[in-house]
Amino acid sequence: MLDQFTFIGVFLIVALVFGIAPPVLGYLVRPRKPSPRKAQVYECGMPTHGKTWVQFKAQYYNFALAFIVFDVVAAFLLPWALAYNALGLYATVEAIAFILILLGGLVYVWRKGALEWM
Amino acid sequence: MEFLKNLIVNVGLWFQGLLASTSLPETWVLAITRAAGALALALVPLVTIFFFIWYERKIVARIGSRLGPNNSGAYGGPWGIFQVFADAIKMFTKEDVIPAGADRWVFNVAPMLTLAIAVMIWAVLPLGKGLIGIDLNIGIFYLLSLGSGSIVTVVMAGWGSNNKYALLAAFRSIATLISYEIPKALSVLVVVMLAGSLSMQDIVAAQDVAFLLALPLTAFLFLAATLSELGRRPFDLVEADSEIVAGYFVEYSGIKFGMFYVAQFMNQLAAAAIFSTLFLGGWRGPWVDQVPVLSTLWLTAKILLSVLIIQFFQYTLPRLRIDQVLAFNWKFLTPLALVNVCAVALAGKTVPASAGPLTQAGISLGANVVLTLIVLGILAIAGRQARQREASRLATQ
């Protein structure tokens, strides 16, 4: 188990090296002629109006909340799916009841109009 | 000849033997072998990606009645096969422009992490019989978690650029990316249920019948979610190159843009490999037991086929709006994926656990087909009602 994740650790280091290498290589060969004009933000040729890091639409938050619910659920269901072949009908029906409760939640969110893009 | 039959594994064993014959201690031999293996494995996507991008561009060109890269002066090579190398060299020599006021750390780290995560996927992909970086016992879960990791890099790129377009595009991307994680995770759940394991090699081993035949609806759900995660049409809001240019990485130039570009294709290659592994039987095929090196060729053929399918979706379907994309996921794919889990779970319990894999596959196929027919029926009724509402609305005007 630990041995397996040692390999993942080694692989992570290799992957990070592969991520860092191209900009470093590019740094050695590319030209550098900075100017304030060049560093301007690209926005249809217009100067940016106000701060960039503004508050954003609350709509995204709804989707994020719904996502967290279902993603956690998927993580909960994985052990059940793993043991599925060894489980009896009772455990299966229990898991299905769990999923149906969730579906109820989805229907509630839907009826509340949280899934509409406004 | 015996050496050639299992070429790739034997090269690894030969390398280990070579190290063992020196006077190095055993732990060092193991460590060096592991490190060399990791390096070789990480090189697989980075090298194949060049030819893969060429393959993709050729398909795109053919779909659009064009020739695609065929000759690029001194660099092109036959059929323009070295076009991508020429592009890479060009990107290395382009100036790196960081926009004024950008969050420089976040801005610079985002492409590195994107590429690193795209490489990390390959650690658990079974590339052939007995040929896998590490057969993690939670392999498929590891892949799902990496998928969530790549979402963070999208936020970093959008937030770090100091550009409102990039920021808004990042939010849009995240909204779609996280939404489509759910049907993806739930369709993986069904595969795990049938395979009884999270390990990638076990999932391959469980496919005496390819899961595409046992679970066609699940395969469709997975493919739809994958298309969205890759930012492919009809869900290509992440990029939408003809409208918002490049979305969250609009401010990147030179090699950093190239890294996002390469990471995208790498993710696509990996997604095709994951789809082949989960639904097409992975590296399994005829004569694999006699000549294990064939397994890698079978996998390659399946990957190229999956890419072809993804490409046909990408270049023949129009783009959806953001509200349509999200509605499609939350009002169609997610409930369907949840019901699909229930249907397959219930159907599997109608036969005794001692039944053979063929019976299991048949019963899952039955559940999938029945569910598909029901869904198509509901869609037909809902569509007719919507058309009638629209017609009566027009009539009253």
Write the CB contacts of A97 (distance below 8 Å, at least 6 apart in sequence). none
Residue B123 near residue A7 (C-beta atoms within 8 A): yes
pLDDT at B150 over 80: yes
pLDDT at B108 over 80: yes
Nearest CB among B111, B123, B346 relative to A11 is that of B123
When pLDDT is averaged across residues A48-67 and rounded to a whole number, the result is 80
Nearest CB among B39, B254, B331 relative to A110 is that of B331
Other CB atoms within 10 A of residue A12 CB: 17
Closest Cα of chain B to A17: distance in Å? 8
Contact B326 A56 (CB under 8 A): no
CA distance B218 to B194: 12
Q: Is the dihedral of CA B249, B252, B253, B256 positive or negative?
A: negative
When pLDDT is averaged across residues B273-292 and rounded to a whole number, the result is 87
Q: Which residue has the higher pLDDT, B1 or B176?
A: B176
Write the CB contacts of B397 (distance below 8 Å, at least 6 apart in sequence). none
Closest Cα of chain A to B305: distance in Å? 27
pLDDT for residue B290: 81
Q: Work out the widest C-alpha separation in chain A, in whole angstroms.
A: 70
Contact A39 B98 (CB under 8 A): yes
- B37 to chain A: which residues are within 8 Å by CB? 7
Residue B161 near residue B167 (C-beta atoms within 8 A): yes
When pLDDT is averaged across residues A43-63 and rounded to a whole number, the result is 75
> What is the separation, in whole angstroms, between the first and last Cα of chain A?
48
When pLDDT is averaged across residues B255-265 and rounded to a whole number, the result is 89
CA distance A38 to A71: 42
Nearest CB among A52, A67, A92 relative to B178 is that of A67
According to DSSP, residue A48 is labeled: P
Q: What is the band of B191 on the pLDDT scale with cuts at 50, 70, 90?
A: very high
The predicted-structure confidence for B347-370, as pLDDT tens digits, reads as follows 888 877 677 778 888 888 999 999
Residue B185 near residue B197 (C-beta atoms within 8 A): no
Q: Which residue of B has its CA nearest to A44?
A: B165
The predicted-structure confidence for B288-323, as pLDDT tens digits, reads as follows 888 888 888 999 999 999 998 888 888 888 888 888
Tokens at B76, concatenated: 């092109």
Q: Is the dihedral of CA B90, B94, B99, B102 positive or negative?
A: positive
Residue B280 near residue B200 (C-beta atoms within 8 A): no
Closest Cα of chain B to A114: distance in Å? 10
Q: Which residue of A has its CA nearest to B35?
A: A10
How does DSSP assign B184-203, residue by residue? HHHHHHHHHHHHT-SSHHHH
Q: Which residue of A has its CA nearest to B321?
A: A117
Contact A15 B116 (CB under 8 A): yes
pLDDT for residue B284: 87
Contact B189 A54 (CB under 8 A): no
Q: Which residue of A has its CA nearest to B196?
A: A82
Kindly state whether A58 is in contact with chain B, defined as any CB-CB distance less than 8 angstroms.
Answer: no
Place of tokens 């991307």: B173
Nearest CB among A25, A52, A66 relative to B164 is that of A52
The predicted-structure confidence for B208-251, as pLDDT tens digits, reads as follows 888 898 899 999 999 999 988 887 777 777 666 666 666 788 88
Nearest CB among B190, B259, B326 relative to A117 is that of B326
Q: What is the band of B173 on the pLDDT scale with cuts at 50, 70, 90?
A: confident
Task: Name the nearest CA neighbour of A64 among B239, B332, B147, B176.
Answer: B176
Task: Name the nearest CA neighbour of B52 among B313, B310, B312, B304.
Answer: B304
When pLDDT is averaged across residues B45-59 and rounded to a whole number, the result is 87
Question: Poorest-confidence range of A18-27, B101-110, B245-254, B272-281?
Answer: B245-254
Q: Which residue has the higher pLDDT, B12 or B375?
A: B375
CA distance B339 to A106: 12
When pLDDT is averaged across residues A6-28 and rounded to a whole number, the result is 89
pLDDT for residue B387: 93
When pLDDT is averaged across residues A33-58 and rounded to a whole number, the result is 75
pLDDT at B98 over 70: yes
pLDDT for residue A42: 67
* pTM, two decimal places: 0.91
pLDDT for residue B223: 92
- A76 to chain B: which residues are within 8 Å by CB? none
Average pLDDT, chain B: 86
Residue B315: what residue type?
Y
Question: 3-class SS at B127?
Answer: strand
pLDDT for residue B242: 63
pLDDT for residue B357: 77
Write the CA distances from A84 to A59, A72, A97, B58, B344, integer angstroms: 37, 19, 15, 44, 11
> What is the separation, in whole angstroms, between the first and last Cα of chain B?
80
